[in-house]
Amino acid sequence: MGGYLFSVFVLFAWVPHIYGLWPIPRSLETGSVALKLANSFRITANVPHPPSDLSDAISRTVGHLRTDKFERLVVGRGSADSETIQHARELKSLTLALAPGSPVRSISDEAILPIESRSEEYTLHIPSDGSAASIEANSTLGLLRGLTTFEQLWYFFDGQVYTLEAPVSITDSPAYPYRGLMLDTSRNFFPVTDIKRTLDAMSLAKMSQFHWHATDSQSFPLVIPGFTEVAAKGAYSSLMSYSSKDIQDIVSYAGARGIDVLVEIDTPGHTAAITESHPEHIACSHASPWSQVAGEPPAGQLRFASSATANFTANLLTAAAKLFPSKFFSTGGDEVNTECYANDSQTQSILQSTGQTFEQALSGFMQTTQGALEKAGKTPVVWEEMVLEHNVTLSNETVVMVWISSQHAAAVAAKNFRIVHGPSDFFYLDCGAGEWLGNDVSGNSWCDPFKSWQKSYTFDPLANITPEQSHLVLGGQQLLWTEQSDPSNLDSIVWPRAASSAEVFWTGATLPDGSPRNVKSALARLHDFRFRLIQRGVSAIALQPLWCALRPGLCDGDS
Amino acid sequence: MHSTPQDLLDAVARSESGLKSDSFERLVVGRGSADSTAVHRALSLDALVLSLDSGRLIRSVADEATVSIASRSESYTLSIPARGQARLVANSTLGLFRGLATFEQLWYTLDGDKYLLNAPIEIADEPAFPYRSFSLDTARNFYPVDDILRTLDAMSWVKMSVLYWHVADSQSFPLEVPGFPELAAKGAYSKEEMYSVNDVELIIQYANTRGIDVVMELDTPGHTTAVGFAHPEHVACAGKSPWAKYANEPPAGQLRIASNATVEFVKRVFQSVLTMMTSTMMSTGGDEVNLPCWEEDEETIDVLNKRNIAIGEALNEFVVAIQGVLKANKITPFIKGDMILTHNVPVTNDTVAVVWQSSADAAGIAERGLRFIHQPSNYFYLDCGAGDWVGNNILGNSWCDPFKTWQRAYSFDPYANLTEAQFPLVLGGQMPLWSEQSSSENLDSIVWPRLAVAAEVFWTGGTLPDGTSRLANNVTGGRAAFSRLNELRYRLVDRGVKAIALQPKWCVLRPGECDVDA
């Protein structure tokens, strides 16, 4: 008998960790005991007057545990575990509790707190004897993060939902508070349902920020009260615009899933669509050849030197800011084209009459727009050029998004601004699909090659940043610019790659076993995550032949 | 027409219901509303009348689509007068079917009205090349039957004539072969991820009735590890590590070509697969054979030593034996170009080579007087440019970077580097999707609308109807192919195929304004 127990012990000792958690928790201990969910399995919140979005989150988790039919990725799939499942103990309940003294606020309220004061940490315990599992946190947001971890522990086979790794003990918190995804809804339009599905997938990866690049030169789909003519004329059609109700729908859907919505109205460049309703505010509108006055067609930028245009913009931003409860608001600021203004007689005559330089006028415009945002209680967010290429005065609170190159983060840090990493050389989801401009037979993507998940996964948020500057790094995000994307390929171009940065910025540099985070061990978990997304109706693409997904490591370059 | 074939009646019914349910509005600023006055005033078209030229044998679309590739009749004429009845005339039901595909593309929708703005229309049409194909790999990852049927529908809308089905490979063997059920039972990813005999019959029949011939490829002797799941005795270096030494990708494994038992086994498998086909063509594959795999395989070494032959001779014998099965069944054999150009195997004179490594290889095949199809990786591979899929390879890129844009593919010249005397050797071409990084989730988005480029390269040929060269410098610009391709893309989306956007919609509505030189 003793010999039998001993041999069982040895066998289990050789079983590798099989969890498919994404992002992987900061601290994680698992055993090798099988547990299955009892038919009566329920989740209870030991929270006084639980907010409705917490109750909804619990219902969603219970629903997913019932409807996900994801079989473990091993040769033989779920049938490989059938014997083990039969003899497994049952888990009857999961209990959620807030730490004593924690305030009881809705997930939505917690998710939109100032980024430095959000509480996402949680602990999760699943005993191996079938007694109640528990999640504890300091906030409902932390409880939500714990629920998404719990959901990822379970596999399906033959009507049973089981895990093989009890007991489970997790203490988890994000390395960085900003873990985002940017979506451009201007080059091509995305219906609300597509955005909601994307938010669901983001939530499963514990992402915290949806950066909504809502408007650009091609279309202006955002209906802003008081400025409804801008979308009425600048959206692709009335069906391809976001009403106040749509916006509220998206914001509350995101908030309930622990996601803050950072909206961007890009200014003063990338604004040609405003010319449809307000030609008086746009310089070099639809000028040809576009390549001399814009990064891409159509040309057109706000006449920032004009005080009428600056006031129009500030008022528009103020009105838009009211639609979004987030503390963050981005005024964009990338790729301002000076040639556009050099040829614009109106801008030139204003500069002459006021005696201002181009940069002085731009700084004045920025002070007007940023001032309006601050008045609306917002923390301004800008693209890196506003700090690195232009001589404009910005509030110290400003958050700077680095996009041109990962090399530029250090320069932003040197100016003591907070940073969100979105470098095109690591995180652009649209790179590598060839040129979209016409009459360019051998044109390639400007940011070739394609950014593989492996490339994104190796991003180091603190590269070239001194320890004293590291507090400036808020996190980062992958980005989808949509010249070549629309609802037809949203899921396939975003997922599962966007989960790469979710782990980079949640887990940080170190895996729970103390070893450095690495692509070799990540792949099996990312496969797991991808198959879970498919269960939930997200058309995430295959990273490898299924043969490889079932045999971790055998399709490595060096195996 | 007396005794109209059922599949032609079905095609007419599909065109009618397609025209009714399409909701595609013309791609102009304002969309359909821009045409509302014109639509109000338009005259009505009463009917489209289909007829075959007198004296023609009436056969089904499916039968016409599977006659030998050199003798297919796809030509048609279509007349749409400014009032009255439109007429579609052809020499075959297949020609009528092609004409219906054209007719469907002429119409726009506004408020329930179907209209066009350019009557009268006179079209006389026929393909420049008979072989216009898509090659789908269902082994690296599996595609449900419904995905294949949807793809066939879309292919038929752009008049494609062949589905080249790369059905099995080293990763899985999803094809149920009569008499060899163990191949799929053990070689498919799961019993849900295989094609039963009934599935294959359905796919072939669905394709044929849509004017598409199905050419099966059983890739041999490489790319066959999955055969070893059921028959380890026939596979050398199965799963051997490091895979990079024994194969182009994991898992390693190739048929034991020197073994008599293996050759006999493969012959019987081919014989069985032939019974499932309606095509007169089949491919034995032959790409990327790896010599170290055999050179270190003891069983292979034993046979070679006993017979005192080199591995090259065994390879020759293997190909001759398999091609012999096809020949005995009057099937035209296809083979990958490297079998000829790299391994110099003796092939029958009627062999069709699949030129894949580089467009530059076509001339070498033509020099040998063999017919061929173009499938060059440097123009037509749909999977290029998505990064490396091999694990633990951070900076790895796609082996065939960069991504092949539609513009790149469209610039392909089927006659480049060929003499005029060699032109008849070109049957056409195909764009392949290798599925290491593709599956049901992104099939539409990675294939469409790019695949339609090959359809036009090989249907329209080198000259546009106005007599200018399709390959002239500016034809990919917004005012030429691009606006038509954008339109096709929106029509595909309208019919449930998730073709991707090629440009911001702003550009789509303004042809030419997003050209690089606009």
**Nearest-Cα residue of chain A relative to residue B392:** A520
All domains of chain B, ordered by start, with CATH?
Answer: 6-125 (3.30.379.10), 131-462 (3.20.20.80), 472-518 (no CATH)
Q: Measure in Å the smallest separation between the Cα of B113 and chain A Cα atoms.
A: 20
Specify whether the CB–CB gap between A558 and B392 falls below 8 A.
Answer: yes
Name A268's Cβ contacts closer than 8 Å, sequence gap at least 6. A301, A302, A304, A313, A333, A336, A362, A365
pLDDT tens figures, B377-402: 999 999 999 999 999 999 899 999 99
Which one is catalytic: A29, A90, A335, A339?
Answer: A335
Residue range B39-66: average pLDDT? 94
Specify whether the CB–CB gap between A96 and A143 falls below 8 A.
Answer: yes
pLDDT higher than threshold 70 for residue B438: yes
Q: Is there a cis peptide before residue B221, judged by omega within 30 degrees of 0?
A: yes
Window 13-32 of B, Cβ < 8 Å to A: 31
Q: Measure in Å the smallest separation between the Cα of A248 and chain B Cα atoms.
A: 26
pLDDT band per the 50, 70, 90 thresholds, residue B473: low
Instruction: Determine contact: B141 vs chain A, CB below 8 A.
Output: yes
Specify whether the CB–CB gap between B96 and B5 falls below 8 A.
Answer: no
Percent of chain B past pLDDT 70, that is, above it, reads: 98
Cβ neighbours, 10 Å, residue A335: 17
Nearest to A488 among B396, B398, B493 (CB): B493
A507: exposed, middle or buried (C-beta count within 10 Å: 0-12, 13-18, 19+)? buried
Instruction: State the DSSP H helix or E strand holding residue A422, giving kind and residue range, or none if neither.
Output: none
Q: At A332, list the tokens.
A: 């964009």
Size of interface A-B (CB pairs under 8 A): 256
Nearest to B340 by CA among B380, B309, B369, B378: B369
Nearest to B366 by CA among B312, B420, B326: B420
Instruction: Determine contact: A434 vs chain B, CB below 8 A.
Output: yes
Residue A485: its chain B contacts at CB < 8 A?
Answer: 500-501
pLDDT band per the 50, 70, 90 thresholds, residue B417: very high
pLDDT higher than threshold 90 for residue B491: yes
User: Does B402 sit within 8 Å of A444, measured CB to CB?
Assistant: yes
- Identify from A430, A504, A527, A541 which residue to disrupt to test chain B contact, counting B C-beta atoms within 10 A and taking the largest count: A541
DSSP state letter for A542: P
pLDDT tens figures, B125-152: 999 999 999 999 999 999 999 999 999 9
Active site residue ranges of B: 288
pLDDT band per the 50, 70, 90 thresholds, residue B56: confident
Residue B241: its chain A contacts at CB < 8 A?
Answer: 559
Instruction: Determine contact: B186 vs chain A, CB below 8 A.
Output: no
User: Does B441 sit within 8 Å of A540, measured CB to CB?
Assistant: yes
Q: How far apart are CA B477 and CA B491, in angstroms?
A: 20
Residue B192: its chain A contacts at CB < 8 A?
Answer: none
Range A463-468 contact pairs with CB under 8 angstroms and sequence separation of 24 or more: A463/A406, A463/A409, A464/A407, A464/A409, A464/A410, A465/A409, A465/A410, A465/A413, A466/A413
Nearest to A141 by CA among A180, A101, A108, A99: A108
β-strands B371-374, B352-355 pairing: parallel
Q: Is there a cis peptide before residue B242, judged by omega within 30 degrees of 0?
A: yes
Q: Measure in Å the smallest separation between the Cα of A498 and chain B Cα atoms.
A: 15
Specify whether the CB–CB gap between B227 and B187 falls below 8 A.
Answer: yes
Q: How far apart are CA B459 and CA B467, in angstroms?
A: 15
pLDDT higher than threshold 80 for residue B2: no
Task: List alpha helices for B93-165, DSSP H.
Answer: 93-104, 145-157
User: Does A488 sit within 8 Å of B444, measured CB to CB?
Assistant: yes
Q: Measure in Å the smallest separation between the Cα of B217 and chain A Cα atoms.
A: 19
ipTM of the complex as predicted? 0.95
Q: How far apart are CA A543 and CA B266, in angstroms?
A: 32
DSSP state letter for B346: -
Name B348's Cβ contacts closer than 8 Å, sequence gap at least 6. B323, B327, B333
- Residue owning tokens 């838009």: A320
In 3-state terms chain B splits into helix, strand, coil percentages (rounded to 5) of 40, 15, 45
pLDDT higher than threshold 90 for residue B322: yes
Q: What is the pLDDT of residue A15?
A: 42
Instruction: Determine contact: A41 vs chain B, CB below 8 A.
Output: no
Helix (H, G, I), strand (E, B) or coil at B276: coil
β-strands A209-215, A260-265 pairing: parallel
The DSSP bridge partners found for residue B236 are B254
The whole-number mean pLDDT for each consecutive block of 10 residues of chain A, a chain of 559 residues, reads 38 53 97 96 96 98 97 95 96 98 97 98 98 98 98 97 97 98 98 98 98 98 98 97 98 98 98 98 97 97 98 98 98 98 97 97 97 97 98 96 98 98 98 95 94 98 97 98 98 98 98 95 97 98 98 94
Specify whether the CB–CB gap between B408 and B112 falls below 8 A.
Answer: no
The DSSP bridge partners found for residue A372 are none
Q: How far apart are CA B69 and CA B74, in angstroms?
A: 11
DSSP state letter for A179: E
Task: List alpha helices for B397-480, DSSP H.
Answer: 406-410, 443-447, 451-460
Nearest to A443 among B243, B507, B516 (CB): B516
CA atoms within 13 Å, Cβ hemisphere of A240: 21
Q: What is the pLDDT of residue B1?
A: 58
Helix (H, G, I), strand (E, B) or coil at A45: strand
User: Does A291 sit within 8 Å of B391, measured CB to CB?
Assistant: no
Instruction: Determine contact: A542 vs chain B, CB below 8 A.
Output: yes
Q: Name the class of domain A2-172.
A: alpha beta
Q: Measure in Å the smallest separation between the Cα of B148 and chain A Cα atoms.
A: 17
Residue B34: its chain A contacts at CB < 8 A?
Answer: none
Range A36-39 contact pairs with CB under 8 angstroms and sequence separation of 24 or more: A36/A85, A36/A88, A36/A89, A36/A90, A36/A91, A36/A160, A36/A161, A36/A162, A36/A163, A37/A65, A37/A90, A37/A91, A37/A154, A37/A160, A37/A161, A37/A162, A38/A90, A38/A91, A38/A92
Window 71-90 of A, Cβ < 8 Å to B: 77
- Identify from A488, A490, A518, A531 which residue to disrupt to test chain B contact, counting B C-beta atoms within 10 A and taking the largest count: A488
Listed by start position, the domains of chain A span 2-172, 185-508
Q: Which CATH superfamily is domain A185-508 in?
A: Glycosidases (3.20.20.80)
pLDDT tens figures, B249-306: 999 999 999 999 999 999 999 999 999 999 999 999 999 999 999 999 999 999 999 9
Q: How far apart are CA A505 and CA A206, in angstroms?
A: 10
Across A484-501, b (16+ Cβ under 10 Å) vs e yields bbbbbbbbbbbbbbbbbb
Nearest to A54 by CA among A145, A140, A147: A140
**Nearest-Cα residue of chain B relative to residue A186:** B504
Name A384's Cβ contacts closer than 8 Å, sequence gap at least 6. A334, A400, A401, A402, A403, A404, A408, A412
Q: How far apart are CA A19 and CA A163, in angstroms?
A: 9
Q: How far apart are CA A25 and CA B469, in angstroms?
A: 60
Q: How far apart are CA A532 and CA A553, in angstroms?
A: 20
Q: How far apart are CA A249 and CA A417, in angstroms?
A: 32
Window 146-175 of B, Cβ < 8 Å to A: 170-172
Q: Measure in Å the smallest separation between the Cα of B497 and chain A Cα atoms.
A: 8
Instruction: Determine contact: A449 vs chain B, CB below 8 A.
Output: yes
